[in-house]
Structure 1
Amino acid sequence: MKNSIFGKFANKAIALLGSAAMILGVSACGQSNDTSASTDSDGLTKVTFMLSWAPDTNHIGVYVAKNKGYFTSVGLDVDIVAVAQAGAEQAVNNGVADFALSNLTNVGVYATKGAKIKQVMQVQQKPSAIWCSLASNTEIKSPKDFDGKTFATFGSNESDAVIRRMIQTDGGKGTFDKVTVGTSTFQTLSSEKADFGGFYATWEGVQADMYGPKLNCFTEPDYGVPGNADTIGVITSDKTISSNPGLVKKFVQATKKGYEYAYANPDDAAEILVKEAPDANLKPAFVKRSMKTIVDGQYWGDPAKIKDGSFVFGTNDVQGAQEYFDFLAQEDAYTDSHDKVIHKAPQAKDLATDEFLK
C-alpha cells in the first residue's frame, strides 16, 4: 500500500521526463509491433494486459472481467502482468503488451515523442488528484502556503505546472523547492524532507483516512487547473486497432462489463480484486472503502445517466483532456524525443476512440 502513490505520479513522471530509454524504445521498436494473435490449448486467443503500477481499484474491472469469465466468453485468455520498468505506454507501443491501463495525459505525452497508441475506453471521468500536506503541519492552510515550501516530487514538468498554477490562483507566487520522493510520499512528508506532495483521493486519500497520517488536501479544479488530468482508461496501439479491430472490440466490451459490474457491486468487486491479486496483500476493508469513495464520488460517471443511456460507460472525455493538454502546453510541459520544448498541445480527439464501446 505504501508505494501505491507511485502508480499515478511516477508513471506520469516517466512520461514527462522523456528518458533516453523511452525515446530509444519508441524510435527503435515503434515499428516492430507484433500483433499476431496466438491461441492456448482451449482455443482462446491469448491477450496481455499490463498494469499501470501495483493492483488497485483503477484496475479492478479487468480483474472482475477475468474472474467472472467475461473474457473467456468472448474467446480471450487474458494475462494480467506487472508494469514494465519503462512504463505501460512504451510496452503497448512496442508490442510487449496488447493493452494497458493508462490515461489520455500519458498518451498525449508519448505521442509527442513518436508513440502510436490510443485510448479505447475511459474509466475515470473526473480528476482525483489531491495535493496535500500532513494535517499536523499547521503552516499550510491553502495552496498559497506551498510558496517557499518543499514539494515531494517524482520530477515531472506536469506536476510542477499544476502546483505552480494552484499556488498562483490562490494568490501566491508559485515558487517552491523540490525533493525526489524516496520510498513513498507519505514517508517523505513524515520524515520532514518535504512539506507537500501528490496523492489519489480514491486510494492514498482513503489510506490516510483509515490508517493515517491524516492529510490536509486541495484539488486541482478548485485552484485554476482546467480540464481533466486523470482520464484513466485502457490503451492499445494504433497497429493493433488497424490489424485486429475484432480483438480490440472483444477486450473492450468484456472489460467495460467488468467495470460496470464493479460500479454496481463495489463490495463484491473489492473481494474479487483481493482474491485475484494475492501478491498485492490488499486489505478487503481498505479496497471496499476505496470503491465506496469511487461510487459515492461518481468518479466513473453518473449512475443515473448510465442507467438511462444518456451517458455510455467508458466514453472518452476528449474535451476535458484537451483543456488539460492546452494548459500543459502553455506551461511548456511538453518536450519532443530530443527533449526540446513543444508549444503545440497534442490533440485528444486523435488519441482516443469510442468506436469499440458500441
Structure 2
Amino acid sequence: MKTKKIGLLLLTLLLILVAGCGSKATENGAGKTSGETSSAVGENEPEKLKDVKVVLDWTPNTNHTGLYVAKEKGYYAEEGLNVEIMQPGAGGSDAMVASGKVPFGVSIQENVTQGRTQGVPLVSIAAVIQHNTSGFAAPVDRNIKKPKDFEGKTYGGWGSPVEQAVISSIMENDKADANKVKFVNMGEADYFTAVKRDIDFAWIFYAWTGIEAELRNEPLDMMYVKDFSDKLDYYTPVIVTNEKQIQEDPELVKAFMRATSKGYEYAIKNPEDAANILLKAVPELDKDLVIASQKWLSPKYQDDAARWGEQKEQVWKGYSDWMYEHKLLDKPLDVDKAFTNDFLP
C-alpha cells in the first residue's frame, strides 16, 4: 500500500485543475444526472438510483473495505445511490474531487492540509482509521531499532519534504544527525524489492506491507510515527468532498456517509466477511493478505472514538501546527474549514 503518492509534489497540478473546473457544474452535484427520476416517470415505476462516483487514493486495499461493503450489501442503494468506486487518474483523487469531477474521494490529512492553505476546496468528512498506522520499517537484519540507527542507512521514499521533516524531527529528539541518512527515490518499486536492492528502511502502512511481511516470514522492525509525537498521530486516510458539493447538495453527502458508515461498521464487526466482499470486487488481490490485513485493521477503524469516522479538532490543529513549524505550510491552517463531522450519522 503506497501512501502520499500525490502529496506536495502534485499541488501545482491540483490548483490548475481546480481553477479550470471551478466554474463548471459538478458531474454528480446538485443538478440532475442520468440516474435521477424524471417528472414524466409514472407513479408505479421504481425510482431510479442516482449515479455517484467515489475515487480511491491508490489501488484497492483494506483501507477501502467499507466502501465495497456498502456497495455489495446494498447500503448505498438503500439511500437511493448507485455508487461507482473508481481508481484515480493521473492527477490523483484530490484533484478529481477538488475540481468537482467526482463528488467523493479518499485522501489523507496531509494533502487536505497542504491543499487548503493554497486555496484548494477539499473538506474531510470522515477519518477512515482513527489513529496513524504508518511508520518506518526495516528488515530486522538492518538493526534499526530507534531513530539514531537511521544514521549511515539509506531511506527509500517518494521525494516529499514531509519525509525529511519527520525523519529530521524524530532523529533530533534522539540526538541523531539526519544529514547522515542517504535519501533515495524508490519510484514504483515495492518495499520488498527495494530493501533487497538498495535501501535499508521505508515509510509503510503496517496494515498492508507489515502484514505482508509477516505472511512472507520476513520480519521487520517498525517505528510508528505517532509514537514520537502526538502531533504526528494524524488521520490517514480520510474521505473527502469539496465545498461546492456541500453547499449545493448536502443531502447527497449525508446519504453517502450514512451508507459508508454502515459499510465500515460492518467491516469492524465482521472482518473476514468484509475481506471476502473486497476480494469478490477485486479478485486479483492476494486472498491471504486481504484477510489477514482486514483482521488486523478492522478494530482500528473506530478504535477509541465514539463512532466510526469521528474527527477531532486537536488532531487537525496539532498536525497542521507541526507542518507550519517545520516550514511545510506557507501559512497556518483554518482548521474549522478543513474538516467536519456534520455528515456522520
Give the TM-score, by structure 1 length. Answer: 0.87
TM-superposed CA distance for 1:295, in Å, is 3.5
Partners of 2:136 and 2:204 within 8 A in 1: yes
Counterpart CA distance in 1 for 2:50 and 2:18 is 26
TM-superposed CA distance for 1:96, in Å, is 1.5
Please, which of 289, 293, 297 is the counterpart of residue 296 of structure 2?
293
- Where 1:217 maps in the other structure, the secondary structure is strand
Counterpart CA distance in 1 for 2:296 and 2:141 is 24
Counterpart CA distance in 1 for 2:280 and 2:32 is 28
Partners of 2:7 and 2:110 within 8 A in 1: no
Counterpart CA distance in 1 for 2:258 and 2:301 is 20
Find runs of 4+ consecutive structure 1 residues off by over 4 angstroms. Answer: none
* 2:39 aligned partner: none
Query: Which structure would you say has the larger Rg?
Result: 2
Please list every run of 5 or more consecutive structure 1 residues that lacks an aligned counterpart in the other structure. Answer: 306-310, 335-341
Q: Deviations over 1:47-98 (max 9, x none)?
A: 0010110101111001000000000111000011111211111100111211
Counterpart CA distance in 2 for 1:328 and 1:321 is 11
1:63-142 matches, within 5 Å, as 63-138=68-143, 140-142=144-146
- Where 1:121 maps in the other structure, the secondary structure is strand
Whether 2:19 is the aligned partner of 1:27: answer yes
* 2:314 aligned partner: 319
**Letter of the 1:301 counterpart:** D
1:211-250 matches, within 5 Å, as 211-224=216-229, 226-250=231-255
TM-superposed CA distance for 1:252, in Å, is 0.5
The 3 A distance-change label for structure 1 pair 224 and 102 is same
1:126-275 matches, within 5 Å, as 126-138=131-143, 140-175=144-179, 176-182=181-187, 183-191=189-197, 193-224=198-229, 226-275=231-280
Question: 218-227 vs 127-136, which deviates more?
Answer: 218-227
Please, which of 58, 62, 65 is the counterpart of residue 53 of structure 1?
58
The 3 A distance-change label for structure 1 pair 37 and 201 is farther
Counterpart CA distance in 1 for 2:128 and 2:171 is 29
- Where 2:272 maps in the other structure, the secondary structure is helix
Counterpart CA distance in 2 for 1:313 and 1:300 is 5
Q: Deviations over 1:303-352 (max 9, x none)?
A: xx7xxxxx122111231122111111111112xxxxxxx1x331332211
TM-superposed CA distance for 1:105, in Å, is 2.1
* 1:16 aligned partner: 8
The 3 A distance-change label for structure 1 pair 286 and 37 is farther
Q: Deviations over 1:241-286 (max 9, x none)?
A: 10001111000000000000000111100000000123xx122322
Counterpart CA distance in 2 for 1:253 and 1:232 is 18
Question: 321-330 vs 243-252, which deviates more?
Answer: 321-330
Partners of 1:52 and 1:100 within 8 A in 2: yes
The 3 A distance-change label for structure 1 pair 299 and 167 is farther
TM-superposed CA distance for 1:43, in Å, is 1.1
Question: 125-134 vs 250-259, which deviates more?
Answer: 125-134
- Where 2:176 maps in the other structure, the secondary structure is coil
The 3 A distance-change label for structure 1 pair 227 and 142 is closer
Partners of 1:129 and 1:230 within 8 A in 2: no
Partners of 1:30 and 1:115 within 8 A in 2: no
Counterpart CA distance in 2 for 1:91 and 1:249 is 20
Counterpart CA distance in 1 for 2:49 and 2:282 is 22
- Where 2:83 maps in the other structure, the secondary structure is strand
Counterpart CA distance in 2 for 1:195 and 1:78 is 41
- Where 1:314 maps in the other structure, the secondary structure is coil
Please list every run of 5 or more consecutive structure 2 residues that lacks an aligned counterpart in the other structure. Answer: 37-46
Give the TM-score, by structure 2 length. Answer: 0.90
Counterpart CA distance in 2 for 1:209 and 1:320 is 30
- Where 1:133 maps in the other structure, the secondary structure is strand
TM-superposed CA distance for 1:37, in Å, is 4.0
- Where 2:314 maps in the other structure, the secondary structure is helix
- Where 2:77 maps in the other structure, the secondary structure is helix
